[in-house]
Structure formats: C-alpha cells, structure tokens
Amino acid sequence: MPGARIANGERITLRTVEQEDVPFLQRGTANAELRYSLGSRLMNQTQVEEEILDHSDDQFLVCLDETDAGSGQPPESETKPIGVVFVEDADWRRPELVYWLVPAVHGDGYGKEALSLVIDYVFRTYAHPAVGAGVYEFNEVSQNLLTSLGFSEEGRIRKNRFVDGDYVDTIQYGLLRTEWSAHHCDE
C-alpha cells in the first residue's frame, strides 16, 4: 500500500515507498520489457527489499489516486501505483534519476509529470547545481522524455552494459538548475 503523499501533479501523486510496495516493485523489476530497458538484474522480493528499501536514496512511488485518497496511507482501492522514481546519490554527488512506469501506461504522459515533480523536489531539497540520468542507446523514448524536460546529452560510455545479449552504450544526460528554472518560465 503506497505511503504518504509527497507531491501532487495534475494527474499523478508521488508517495513514499513502503514495505507493502515490495511486490509491486518486484513485479516491475521482473517484467522483461522494463528490466532490459533499465539493465536490471532479475530480483526476488527479498533482494528487492535489500536493494531498494534498505537504500538511503529518495524513493517515490508514482500513483494514480482517486479524488478522495488521503495524504497518509490510503486504502488500496483509492490509489494505484504505476511506477517508481529513485533519486540516487544526492547526499554526496550530483543526483541521478532512475525511473520506470508499468508498460500499460507508457505514452500517456505520466513519466513527464512524475519526473517534473521529482526534479522540483531535488532542486528544493538539495543544493546541487544539476541533476542527471543515464539512458541506454536503444531507449529512444526515455531519451525523448529527458530532452522534452530540458536535459542535454553530456556524454556516452561506449559498450558500457551487457543488455539482452549485447553490449550497449549508455548516454548520460544532465539538467542544470538554471536550465530547469528557465524551462519552467517558458511553459
């Protein structure tokens, strides 16, 4: 069951990740369509608990809430998790975004809304001048999402990861705080 409300968008809510969310997170990491695009290894529920819940990174469950869903822990009937966004390493270096949404909602604009809320959170919470995200060369949808939010390509690590039977490049994207402020003024 998703936890406390962190932020509201027009259509989605960011909530804290709770112990009860482990089965949802495990199903996400077990989904081949998501796992390959993230470069994640297959994990059981215990491994998800160790890797995700025991981490100190900022973690957000992306949810579709009913109108009457409370700010605390609403009943499962009032909120539906559709994805997750992690902010890695923000306590010691430039924050890195890692994110996924369930395939059923791909292309509906929820990713852009979720990342926008998390970027706002990062720049309100941390003094870092930038935020980053890494994307595999074959993941054009994620590259387009980051570009639409104002991110710029900063570099490429060639043949960085073994994904689905081949080594692939990782493209690093970055967004400066000043660029985010200007991007929001233009909207």
Residues 6+ apart with CB under 8 A from 142: 37, 133, 135
Least confident of 8-12, 49-53, 169-173: 49-53
pLDDT category of residue 22 using cuts at 50, 70 and 90: confident
Instruction: Report all structural domains of the chain as residue ranges with CATH numbers, in order of start.
Output: 5-186 (3.40.630.30)
The 10s digit of each residue's pLDDT in 115-166 is 999 999 999 999 999 999 999 999 999 999 999 999 999 999 999 988 878 8
Mapping DSSP onto H, E and C, the string for 84-142 reads EEEEECCCCCCCEEEEEECHHHCCCCHHHHHHHHHHHHHHHHCCCCEEEEEEECCCHHH
Least confident of 23-32, 106-115, 129-138: 23-32
Residue 43's pLDDT is: 62
Residue 149's pLDDT is: 96
Distance CA 71, CA 63 (A): 12
What is the layout of strands, in order, in the sheet containing 58-65? 5-8, 13-16, 58-65, 79-88, 96-101, 130-136, 166-176, 152-163
The 10s digit of each residue's pLDDT in 82-102 is 999 999 988 889 999 999 899
Closest Cα to residue 119, out of 109, 130, 110?
Answer: 130
Overall average pLDDT of the 18-27 stretch? 80
Return the percent helix, strand and coil in the chain, to nearest 5: 35, 35, 30
The 10s digit of each residue's pLDDT in 44-82 is 667 666 766 666 678 899 999 877 666 767 767 778 899
Residue 33 DSSP symbol: H
How distant, in Å, are the alpha carbons of 30, 40, 70, 171, 184 from that of 175?
Answer: 30, 24, 33, 14, 13
Two structure tokens written together for 73? 């822990």
